[in-house]
Structure 1
Amino acid sequence: MMTTVLFLVVWTVLLTPCLLVQEEPSPNITHLTFKNMDFAMDLYRKISSYHDNNIFFSPLCLSTVFTSLSLGARGSTRDQILKGLNLDLLEHQGTSSLIPELFQHLQRNITQDNALMFHQSTALFVGQDFEIEMAFSEQIKKFFGADINNVDFADPKVSMATINEYVRKQTGNKVKEMVSSIEPFTKLMLINTIFFKGTWELPFNPNNTENARFYVDKYNIVQVPMMFKDDKFYMTYDKELKVKVLHLPYVGGSAMLIVLPDTDTDYTEVDEEITAARFIHWTQNLKKTKLEIHLPKFKMEQSYTVQKILPELGITNIFQDTANLTGLSKSPGLKVSEVLHKAVIEVDEIGTTAAAATTVGITAFSLPHTFIINRPFFFFIYHESTNSLLFMGRVIDPSKC
């Protein structure tokens, strides 16, 4: 029997001018963002286990696209998706439509006041000879506002041009070619894009940007353009992890949280300790202080073939011949062949552009007057009122971004 291939593409762009909650009977957005954050941390650790390079991705983009795909999954295929995304416990307290509804409400909360330049889109590109189930079509439109388009996958040149044009448009022309090839048995492509552009509330003066040293490790030092700002910022210190945490707000209710290990702390020691609970504790213990900020400008473009990583989180069935996607289509032998995730970020003086409950030792003791980010660090871009983690990454060498 010929195997039908479903091709899944995830795209993300981020552009930046350079609580721990107890379980309640009815899950809400706070529960969703907390679970999404822990999924982000789990995924980050899997990615970081492959290399010691720069990392950047959108956990919200990935969790959104797989949640939308779960609408068409059945049996163990669906169970694995929800468990791998860390969302299965939410559904135990509600109906099968609860999780998609929470994603729908989250999207509305993030964009409700139009102050934040944030756009997320979902699209289905369906082969001309492929029929999707009406219920799936209606649900993905309802909960994720999906556009459904017919393309002729038998003509890969035309179909690739159509899909890449869609991605270019949705990502502010930051991604000019997302798809470079299409497998011959492709029947459907599911695409989710996020475009974010954040302007610093306290922008850096470009005239103060100078080349400075960045210590990749004890043996490697690179020169990078280092931005400078002298003002009042919120920060805290995690005594247990030995990291400084800096909050840099964007206009419109989002922020970048920078986590900088102490000079005698290896960033790999921090990897295993970052959780949603710790992230919330950091944000709840921020204190305003007068600081001199030294932050490197950087650009980063990262691509991941996620089907090689997700099985380590327990999502395996959907990539195998035993996948059950009968809620999406009655066509036999349907499975996901590939998951592409691409994320781009640019941080400069104006802002950022871009196409995760334990007791921790956080103190607000006498804080330093300077915050010099001249060694490997972590960063998180999140929507503050919902604590929704939009993007996360680490910078090991900004000269290679």
Structure 2
Amino acid sequence: MLDEASHFLGYTVVSTLIYLSSLLYAFKTQESKAPDVTDLSFRNMDFAMNLYRRISRHHDNNIIFSPLSVSVSLATLLLAAGGSTRAQIAGGLNLASLDDDDDEVIPQLFQDLLRNISLIQQNTALFVDHRFDLEQVFSHQVKRFFGADVIGVEFGKTDVARDIINDYISKKTGGKVREMVKSVEPLTQMMLINTVFFKGDWQRLFDPNSTEPGRFYVDKYNIVQVPLMFAEDKFFTTEDGDVGARVLRLPYRGGASLLIVLPDASVDYTAIEDEITAERIFRWIKKMKPVKMEVHVPKFQLEQRYGMHELLPHLGISSVFHHSANLTGLSKDVGVKVSQVMHTAVMDVDETGTTAASATSAGITTYSLPTTFRVDRPFFFFLYHEATHSLLFMGRVIDPTKNSQ
């Protein structure tokens, strides 16, 4: 029987696809310690913030993307890249220090990471044209490390190829991303696609009967009305006086959490963007304490699409997009390069679900923090896997009434 009270259900989904064509068509790893998934997650956070800052320079709108999806897609190409192309990919991913003489170290770390994150549905697929001579070693490795599907298509039949790929993406993302591929060039040789789908119930109850319209201050001159959801319970929180922000952790059932970083009312969110690093995020998580408080969080839906091939060169990943790219591990064909890297992410936070979450039994300690956490102005969010600290999704909400720009 349906429970009267329901809790948040968060949907986050992302797809990254790479087009390839040819001319013819204190958390740092100690030196004595082998790198592990925590090292990978730490470095991926800094890569995520570097990418975020490149995206944010282009506009002041909402942002959402999946660092995990982008990283997995590029790490897949590491299996095929050599020379400066490989060095650029590893460097841009902030993984150069892990890329030693053993070319399988980074793919192995990603394999270990993905095995640990059982709460997401992550899929990698290679759509390969029948004319493309894909190296068997690469095909085996991408299956071994990333569990990839290798699917043959005929890109010359552009509409058929587009429909096959979009159908695959739709199925793997629970129907959240339906038409990622708008068109297909007939000379395309291969598409590499990574999808991540996350669906989570919050541990703590939010009573939909307590949701009320509230003001959200987009900036000094623009105020919008949004549904603000409400809960009173024990929440982990902390303050960062150095940057002027408060941090709230909202845990999902199953081992993931959403960090909401709310700049102080007197602080412009743009002043904080350059200060967020992996070390700071780890510090926030470590310093959090349980406090009984009232929490008001807006409902919101986000969907964004990015051409990563326009952003990644600013992070030092450029040669892979040129005819001189060294992707000989992918194919011995002359002039194989990456033509596009498209990324689409969707996030949906609303009041669906029927299973009541149980409250924790942790004791309450009194701290000098306000008893109300009201998210009524632009904020950042970081959805991460608790055991590995892997950053699954991140972004900012400037105006929760806008789905996409």
TM (normalized to structure 1)? 0.90
Residue 284 of structure 1 corresponds to which residue in structure 2? Answer: 286
Residue 55 of structure 1 corresponds to which residue in structure 2? Answer: 63
Aligned partner of 1:321 among 316, 320, 323: 323
Deviation at 1:366, TM superposition (A): 0.2
8 Å CA contact 2:125, 2:193 repeated in 1: yes
CA distance in 1, matches of 2:345, 2:328: 31
Deviation at 1:23, TM superposition (A): 2.3
8 Å CA contact 2:126, 2:148 repeated in 1: yes
Where structure 2 has 5 or more consecutive residues not aligned to the other structure, the ranges are 1-14, 18-25, 354-365
1:140 correspondence with 2:147: no
Q: Determine helix, strand or coil for the equivalent of 1:400.
A: coil
CA distance in 1, matches of 2:178, 2:55: 25
8 Å CA contact 1:204, 1:228 repeated in 2: yes
Q: Determine helix, strand or coil for the equivalent of 1:154.
A: coil
- Within a 5 Å distance, the mapping from 1:200-349 to structure 2 comes to 200-349=202-351
1:78 correspondence with 2:86: yes
Residue 106 of structure 1 corresponds to which residue in structure 2? Answer: 113
8 Å CA contact 1:209, 1:226 repeated in 2: yes
CA distance in 2, matches of 1:256, 1:24: 32
8 Å CA contact 1:167, 1:176 repeated in 2: yes
Name segments (4+ residues, structure 1) moved above 6 Å.
none
- For residue 151 of structure 1, what is the amino acid of its counterpart? V
Which of 322-331 and 280-289 deviates more?
A: 322-331
CA distance in 2, matches of 1:210, 1:75: 57
CA distance in 1, matches of 2:43, 2:84: 20
Q: CA RMSD in A?
A: 1.3
Residue 10 of structure 2 corresponds to which residue in structure 1? Answer: none
- For residue 34 of structure 1, what is the amino acid of its counterpart? F
- For residue 86 of structure 2, what is the amino acid of its counterpart? R
Deviations 1:252-284 (A, max 9, x none): 010000000000000000000000000000000
- For residue 317 of structure 2, what is the amino acid of its counterpart? I
Q: Determine helix, strand or coil for the equivalent of 1:375.
A: coil
- Within a 5 Å distance, the mapping from 1:135-174 to structure 2 comes to 135-174=137-176
Equivalent residue pairs, number: 368
8 Å CA contact 1:256, 1:380 repeated in 2: yes
Residue 193 of structure 1 corresponds to which residue in structure 2? Answer: 195
Residue 121 of structure 1 corresponds to which residue in structure 2? Answer: 123
- For residue 108 of structure 1, what is the amino acid of its counterpart? R
Deviation at 1:344, TM superposition (A): 0.2
- For residue 214 of structure 1, what is the amino acid of its counterpart? F
Deviation at 1:350, TM superposition (A): 4.4
8 Å CA contact 1:203, 1:350 repeated in 2: no
Q: Determine helix, strand or coil for the equivalent of 1:309.
A: helix
Deviations 1:300-341 (A, max 9, x none): 100000100000000000111111111100111111111100
Residue 23 of structure 1 corresponds to which residue in structure 2? Answer: 30
Q: Determine helix, strand or coil for the equivalent of 2:117.
A: helix
Residue 40 of structure 1 corresponds to which residue in structure 2? Answer: 48
8 Å CA contact 2:213, 2:227 repeated in 1: yes
Deviation at 1:137, TM superposition (A): 0.5
- For residue 10 of structure 1, what is the amino acid of its counterpart? T
CA distance in 2, matches of 1:126, 1:267: 43
1:10 correspondence with 2:12: no
Deviation at 1:131, TM superposition (A): 1.1
Identity of aligned residues (%): 56
Deviation at 1:95, TM superposition (A): 1.4
Deviation at 1:24, TM superposition (A): 4.0
TM (normalized to structure 2)? 0.89
- For residue 96 of structure 2, what is the amino acid of its counterpart? D
8 Å CA contact 1:164, 1:177 repeated in 2: yes
